[in-house]
Amino acid sequence: MKDKIRKGIFLFIVFTAIAYAVIFIFYLKGIPKNSKIDFNPVFIGGIAALFVIYNFFNILRVYFLARIFSKEFTLQDSALFTLGGVLLALITPFQAGGMPFQLYIMSKRNITPGEGTSILISRGLQSILVFAFTIPFTMIFFSQLLTGSMVAMLLRYFIILYSLLFLTAFVLIVFTARIKNFFEKKNLSGKMTAFIFKILDEVQNFKKGIISMFTKGLKENMLSILCTFIALYAGFAVTYFAVRMAFGKDDFFLAFNIQFILTYLSAFVPTPGSSGVAEGGIALLYSQIVPKDQIVFFIFLLRLITTYVPALLGLVLLFDKKNILSELK
Residues making up the chain, counted from first to last: 329
Q: What is the pTM of this model?
A: 0.83
- Quickly count: other Cβ atoms within 10 Å of residue 315's Cβ: 19
Q: What is the pLDDT of residue 229?
A: 97
Contact 49, 56 (CB under 8 A): no
Q: What is the pLDDT of residue 228?
A: 97
232, amino acid identity:
L
Q: What is the pLDDT of residue 242?
A: 96
The 8-class DSSP code of residue 326 comes to H
User: Which residue ranges make up each domain of the chain?
Assistant: 2-28+40-149+219-327
Longest dimension (CA), the chain: 72
Select from 50, 53, 86 the least CA-distant residue to 239.
50
Q: What is the pLDDT of residue 322?
A: 58
Q: For residue 208, what are the contacts with CB-CB under 8 A and spacing of at least 6? A: 114, 115, 118
- One digit per residue, pLDDT tens: the chain, 329 residues? 566 667 777 878 888 888 888 887 776 665 556 667 888 999 999 999 999 999 999 999 999 999 999 999 999 999 999 998 888 877 776 556 577 888 888 998 999 888 888 898 888 889 888 988 998 888 777 766 655 555 566 566 666 766 777 788 778 778 887 887 887 777 666 677 777 777 777 777 777 888 888 888 899 999 999 999 999 999 999 999 999 999 999 999 999 999 998 888 777 677 777 777 788 888 888 988 998 888 888 999 999 999 889 988 988 887 776 566 555 55
